[in-house]
Amino acid sequence: MSYEWSFSTPEEEGMDRNVLEQVDQYIRQKRYRLVNSVLVVKNKKIVFEQYYNKFDEHSRNYIKSIWKSILSIVTGICLDKGIIKSLDEPIGNYLQEFTQQHHPYHKLITIRHLLTMTSGIYWNGGVHYHCPMVAQMMRTNDWTAHIADIAMSNVPGMHFQYKEWDVMLLSAVIGRACGGTAYDITKEYLYEPLDIVSGSWPQSPCGFSYTVMKGEEASDLSARDLAKIGLLLLNDGKFNGKQIVSSEYIKQIVSTSSSHAIVDTRATDNGYGFLWLLYPNGYGARGFGGQELTIIPGKDFISVIQATPTSSSKFYGDIHENVLSKAIL
Amino acid sequence: MNEFIEIKGARIHNLKNIEVRIPRNKLTVITGVSGSGKSSLAFDTLYEEGKRRYLLFSGEQYTVDTDSKFETITGLSPTVAVEQRIIRQSNPRSTVGTRSKVGHLLAVLYASYGDRESMYDDGLPLSMEFFQKNSPKGMCVKCLGTGRHQETDEEAIINKTIPIKSIFDGFLMKHRIHKANFKKFCELHRIDVNAPIGDLSDEQMLLFKYGCRLSGFVGAVVFFHDIQKHAISKHMRHNKEGKEVELWGVKLALVVCPKCHGTGLGEQAIHTTIEGKTITELENMYIDELLTYLQDERGSLPGKNIIDEIILKLQCMVDVGLHHLALSRQVPTLSGGEIQRLFLASFIIAEMDSIIFILDEPTIGLHETEKEKLINIVRSLVNRGNTVVAVEHDENFMRAADYIIDLGPDAGIFGGERIFQGSPEQFMLCDNSRTAPYLSGDLKLNAKRHYKSMDTKKLLMIEHANLHNLKDVTVSIPLGLMVGIAGVSGSGKSSLINDTLVPKLRQLLKSKLVYERDESDGSAIIDQGVLVTGIEHIKKCIVVDQRPIGRSKTSCPATYTKITNKVRAMLANKPEAIDGGYAAGLFTINSEGGCRACKGDGIKSYYIGFGNFVEVECEICGGTGFIEEALSVTLDGKNIKDIMDMSVAEAVEFFGREQSEAYNKSVLAILTTLQRVGLGYITLGQKTPTISGGEAQRIKLAKELCKQTGSGNVYILDEPTTGLSFSDTARLIELLQQLVDAGNTVIVTEHDPSVLTNCDYIIEMGPDGGSYGGQVIAQGTPKKLGIDEQSIVGKYIKQVLL
């Protein structure tokens, strides 16, 4: 199923052309040399597109943690199809590593806790989120068993902490539930209907999909494809006339489960949905090193920024804040 | 080039605008009684200014002093200090290995050349962090690098006979967060809370223990585990008096982590060896043994460059007398002297000259033989072209100095003057110094001539002690006497008394043993094979050590000895307080009385970049830390701040005047006891970080002395004369003798031969440290040890007795 994008001009869709045209100058002035793509979709049409560093509309870029937000949609698809029975199922139903009496709290961890980053498993993200604990885990042969060995810092559901463990376990649950990997579900029920171009996601030695490891390039997506995810959410889970994921689930994705999302340090009063960041006027997905997908539903507005990451994880949110969003009339 | 460092107009704390000259490239010793101002001169003036100027010169730091501490200082070079108080460490994750950086070198060695077991070898190299248990990359994920794991005994916490509502003494039904969900759970499953737990069906029991999602109840086991965690960490923070941690009748145990077997390291590290040894094995060896091993195996070990550097560092540590420690030894368990020598070792390794080193009683905790070695090391620092300024009480160290500066004459406001500066020979002729007469021999510490004989029916016997390096030690401690435990560093004194006898006594005597101890530093491991008999003669046992008296920065002598509570009550009873509706809580900075702006500190810190802070007096409270209302109520003209600023001596007068409204017998009793242990000069509100280990011990001793009366008690003290001048030592010995005369036992671990000669009986451990120690090499009266050939300390005792 291929998807044909519609194009339009800023004026026709209620945006200020002059402001949008300042994007290029803004990026050059700020010397954001690593920014590769900037895209604005308004009222479902592409109204602005700018590429740098020899990128074009087909070029694919790292998505990093935007993967988490995509996994959340995949979870909704699994729920709709009955592959998982309920979000409040204990993960022990799928991961027997968590039924081994390693810790009294394990029995309490549910899929919902994974979606809301409240599993309570001990996490130290390291300086600039370089994830030293993941480095240790990656040297073992069974990542799920290793995570089951980790100390618990909180009773599940009590404390929000952004970390990698929760999405890894979520990916493992989906994999075990469907008898394959999370990528299998993603490919068949999300990427193909949306005509998103991607390679096969790498896997852990114990067989669950994870992207931030050797083979990461396979998960790269283009700016336009990321915008399609935005369209899916704006359209209550429908794409091209087909219900990809239920609208009830979409509503939950973008509702507050905890406050204090610590990833986006600019924002002061944000929430966190099901692996999606919530803002006063919308929601979004973020990835290490400048990957941004932002949606303002009230204005039918989607913006995408992609960049080449560095170890200090620079973010370019100001492009959206200071220019793109200001162009909305 | 200046020959002297000249300080003019030094006036910080109690220094009275004094002028001193310190010769460069020489060893200068600053002497004087405790509280005379030695540290104020050496550290707060000389060191701080040297540090400030050097950093200013290098463009880094900018500080503003609200009061200038001196008029001028010339002749300065960069200063490096080792002060016991500053470096009093409390992080249990800090070890000898991490401090000396030898741990890092070993980690690099293992990362580069270690052999990994094939099952754990994925072909990719490991980085050094994998071998460091403080690194999130290297720590065992189960115990987070501590090596210990908290177990929850599920059987023990669910008592099937009691009614459900009574579980955890009813706490579950009352818990702020969980009680609502528990109620829902009971309603949902139609559970009667009055019925016994055993009545629950299997299905209900499972939900009761592990939680029910529908109601949101987390489960009794989970609930217990959560509370258990908080209870253990709270216990560690607040030093509950010697009690075991128990929660609703269930003993909480920390066991060896089953994943890493106590090493605290991740899987990769524990399966990596070099010549068959893991990094943990090397870190647990005594330093002198490790050094020998590396030197012997140097030919066959990989990574020669790293090995050579490790050998160099270990050799330095042996030279400063730390051979009996292991790299894995936690820094908070080290004595003040050991920590100091650890830092000293790193200076020697640096091999620099033209530095001014400022040392704080470097000989503390050292045996006489070790002191000689240390003096040689300090001299070699001087010979290399450095200047060394040491604050000291030790006689031999003073004699080895090139130059002496004496401050005094007494302590606190009665001190702070320069009594003398010049050569040691000239010093001995000085008239108005409190110290000189002891040095010249005119005054001597009294040595006992007659020893109290032991009652063979009243003996405390320790049998088969094998902890650490102890070699199946069996020894009898005669009760009712002053007993001294002697021996070189690492010979086993602490292992025998503090780590074997005390825990065993705690087990046997239970609440009759009084000991404030910080649990976080370790093992509550009891030597299982040891037998202790004779406790029927003990009424109560009081253990006093040198660890700081309070962890928080707001603890001080007055709060520790509970004087503050009494004073606050007195203030709250004044008519103006009652009228104003002020309760006792107003008169403390921790509670209502604290200034809101600076949170009771009295100062505000402003960050000015490059990691530097400027401290400025809080303008809201004028630097007092209290709000106005708290300062408005006075007792005989003094408000709470005035009282906290008083020295003990001043306070004795203040609370002792019978006609005054401040007169209070119990406060006076505590204050006079503090004076008797030689602490007349410290202020009531002096912050704990500024109090030395020896001072902390004496505060604790004073607190206990006030409480206990009568006979039959056993006092266990750890080097109580640490940091004391001759006259203070004499006073303390007198005090301890009074205790013995009243029918109590005093067991002191000591190095000082003059103190040992005041004991009735001595037990000497040795002959050396580490694996060369752990035996009783001599015991008897001081006189007997003086002629015993096996005794090492005997030779020094003999000299004192002559």
Q: What's the ipTM?
A: 0.88
pLDDT mean over B545-566: 79
pLDDT mean over B288-302: 94
Query: B93, B128, B218, B250: best mutation site toward chain A, by most A Cβ within 10 Å?
Result: B218
Q: Which has more confidence, B233 or A292?
A: A292
Which residue from A90, A126, A155 is facing B226, i.e. has the nearest CB? Answer: A155
> CA-CA distance, B632 to B644, in Å (whole number)?
15
pLDDT mean over B75-96: 76
pLDDT of B743 over the 60 cut:
yes
C-alpha to C-alpha distances, A144 to A216, B12, B66, nearest whole angstrom: 20, 61, 58
* Band of pLDDT at residue B28, cut at 50, 70 and 90: very high
Q: What pLDDT does residue B279 have?
A: 96
Q: Do A108 and B218 touch (CB under 8 A)?
A: yes
pLDDT mean over A107-135: 93
Average pLDDT of chain B?
A: 85
Token pair of A192 as six digits = 């193909």
- Is B677:B732 a contact under the CB 8 Å cutoff? yes
- Residue keyed to tokens 């915008």: A227
Token pair of B113 as six digits = 């050349």
Token pair of B70 as six digits = 């001196």
Closest-CA residue of B relative to A132 is B137
- Is B385:B353 a contact under the CB 8 Å cutoff? yes
Query: Cβ-count burial of B75 within 10 angstroms (0-12 exposed, 13-18 middle, 19+ buried)?
Result: middle
pLDDT mean over B478-492: 90
CB atoms within 10 A of CB B441: 9
SS (H, E, C) chain A: CCCCCEECCCHHHCECHHHHHHHHHHHHHCCCCCEEEEEEEECCEEEEEEECCCCCCCCEECCCCHHHHHHHHHHHHHHHCCCCCCCCCEHHHCCHHHHCCCCCCHHHCEHHHHHCCCCCECCCCCHHHCCHHHHHHCCCCCHHHHHHHCCECCCCCCCCCCCHHHHHHHHHHHHHHHCCCHHHHHHHHHHHHHCCCCCCCCECCCCCECCCCCCHHHHCEEHHHHHHHHHHHHCCCEECCEECCCHHHHHHHCCCCEECCCCCCCCCCCEECCCCEEECCEEEEEECCCEEEEEEHHHCEEEEEEECCCCCCCCCHHHHHHHHHHHEC
Residue numbers in B near A150 (CB within 8 A): 141-142
Please name the helix (run of DSSP H) or strand (run of DSSP E) that holds residue B544, with its range, or none: strand B540-544
Please name the helix (run of DSSP H) or strand (run of DSSP E) that holds residue B629, with its range, or none: helix B628-632
CB atoms within 10 A of CB B243: 13
Token pair of B487 as six digits = 């021996």
pLDDT mean over B311-340: 85
SS3 label, residue B596: coil
> CA-CA distance, B652 to B364, in Å (whole number)?
30
Bridge-based pairing state of the strands B254-256 and B272-273: unpaired
Listing DSSP states for B326-371 in one string gives: BTT-BGGGS-HHHHHHHHHHHHHHH---S-EEEEE-TTTT--HHHH
Q: Which has more confidence, B628 or A262?
A: B628
- The answer for residues whose C-beta is within 8 angstroms of residue A261's C-beta and 6 or more apart is A160, A162, A267, A270, A271, A272, A277, A278
Q: Do A107 and B211 touch (CB under 8 A)?
A: yes
Token pair of B733 as six digits = 């010995």
SS3 label, residue B415: coil
Least Cα separation, residue B548 to chain A (angstroms): 29
A29-60 tens-digit pLDDT: 999 999 999 999 999 999 999 999 999 999 99
Q: What pLDDT does residue B769 have?
A: 79
Average pLDDT of chain A?
A: 92
* Most confident residue range from A174-183, B160-169, B381-390, B525-534: A174-183
Residue numbers in A near B221 (CB within 8 A): 104
Q: Do B143 and A151 touch (CB under 8 A)?
A: yes
pLDDT of A264 over the 60 cut:
no
Please name the helix (run of DSSP H) or strand (run of DSSP E) that holds residue B52, with its range, or none: helix B48-57
Token pair of B479 as six digits = 């009760």
Which residue from B152, B154, B267 is facing A140, i.e. has the nearest CB? Answer: B267
A202-244 tens-digit pLDDT: 999 999 999 999 999 999 999 999 999 999 999 999 999 999 9
Q: Which has more confidence, A310 or B30?
A: B30
Please name the helix (run of DSSP H) or strand (run of DSSP E) that holds residue B224, with its range, or none: helix B220-238
* Band of pLDDT at residue B552, cut at 50, 70 and 90: low
Q: Is the backbone peptide bond immediately before A156 cis, with ω within 30 degrees of 0?
A: no
* Band of pLDDT at residue B519, cut at 50, 70 and 90: very low
Q: What pLDDT does residue B524 have?
A: 54
Tell me phi and psi for residue B29, to 5 degrees.
-115, 130
A63-104 tens-digit pLDDT: 999 999 999 999 999 999 999 999 999 999 999 999 998 898
Please name the helix (run of DSSP H) or strand (run of DSSP E) that holds residue B237, with its range, or none: helix B220-238
> CA-CA distance, B98 to B106, in Å (whole number)?
10
State how far Cα B308 lies from the chain centre.
33
Q: Which residues pair with B5 in a beta bridge?
A: B22
* Band of pLDDT at residue B522, cut at 50, 70 and 90: very low
> CA-CA distance, A123 to B751, in Å (whole number)?
47
Query: B120, B139, B141: best mutation site toward chain A, by most A Cβ within 10 Å?
Result: B141
Nearest C-alpha neighbor of B34 from the set B700, B549, B675: B675
CB atoms within 10 A of CB B605: 11
Q: Which of A276-285, A299-308, B658-667 has the lowest mean pLDDT?
A: B658-667
Q: Which residues pair with B417 in a beta bridge?
A: B408
- Is B82:B89 a contact under the CB 8 Å cutoff? no
- Is B588:B594 a contact under the CB 8 Å cutoff? yes
- Is A209:A264 a contact under the CB 8 Å cutoff? no
Q: Which residues pair with A243 in a beta bridge?
A: A238
In B151-196, the DSSP E strands lie at none
Which residue from B137, B154, B226 is facing A135, i.e. has the nearest CB? Answer: B137
pTM of the model: 0.74
Residues in chain A: 329
Token pair of B780 as six digits = 């008897």
Least Cα separation, residue A151 to chain B (angstroms): 5
pLDDT of B239 over the 60 cut:
no
Token pair of B400 as six digits = 């080895």
Q: Do B210 and A108 touch (CB under 8 A)?
A: yes
Q: What pLDDT does residue B67 have?
A: 63
- Is B702:B677 a contact under the CB 8 Å cutoff? yes
> CA-CA distance, B564 to B584, in Å (whole number)?
10
Q: Do B225 and A122 touch (CB under 8 A)?
A: no
Q: What pLDDT does residue A267 have?
A: 46
Q: Which of A103-107, B587-591, B654-658 has the lowest mean pLDDT?
A: B587-591
pLDDT of B84 over the 70 cut:
no
Q: Is the backbone peptide bond immediately before B136 cis, with ω within 30 degrees of 0?
A: no
* Band of pLDDT at residue B292, cut at 50, 70 and 90: very high
A/B interface, count of CB pairs below 8 Å = 61
Q: Do B222 and A88 touch (CB under 8 A)?
A: no
Q: What pLDDT does residue B612 have?
A: 56
Please name the helix (run of DSSP H) or strand (run of DSSP E) that holds residue B188, with its range, or none: helix B178-188
pLDDT mean over B601-611: 68
Least Cα separation, residue A167 to chain B (angstroms): 18
Token pair of B199 as six digits = 């009545």
pLDDT of A256 over the 80 cut:
no
pLDDT of B630 over the 60 cut:
yes
Which residue from A90, A124, A149 is facing B259, i.e. has the nearest CB? Answer: A149
Nearest C-alpha neighbor of A113 from the set A78, A163, A66: A163
C-alpha to C-alpha distances, B732 to B723, B724, B796, nearest whole angstrom: 12, 9, 21
pLDDT of B240 over the 50 cut:
no
pLDDT mean over B567-588: 86
CB atoms within 10 A of CB B719: 25
Least Cα separation, residue B209 to chain A (angstroms): 9
Q: Which of B36-45, B64-73, B651-660, B763-772 has the lowest mean pLDDT?
A: B64-73
Residues in chain B: 802
CB atoms within 10 A of CB B171: 16
DSSP state of B559: H
B655-698 tens-digit pLDDT: 988 888 888 888 999 999 898 887 888 889 887 767 766 778 88
Q: Do A139 and B126 touch (CB under 8 A)?
A: yes
B357-403 tens-digit pLDDT: 999 888 877 777 778 888 888 888 898 899 999 999 888 899 999 99
Query: A131, A155, A163, A165: best mutation site toward chain B, by most B Cβ within 10 Å?
Result: A155
Q: Do A132 and B222 touch (CB under 8 A)?
A: no
- Residue keyed to tokens 């990994």: B116
Q: Do B222 and A155 touch (CB under 8 A)?
A: yes
B251-277 tens-digit pLDDT: 777 788 999 999 999 999 999 999 999
Q: Which residues pair with B716 in a beta bridge?
A: B543, B747
Q: What pLDDT does residue B346 have?
A: 74
Residue numbers in A near B141 (CB within 8 A): 122, 133, 136, 146, 149-151
Handedness of CA B528, B529, B533, B538 (dihedral sign): negative
Q: Do B259 and A140 touch (CB under 8 A)?
A: no
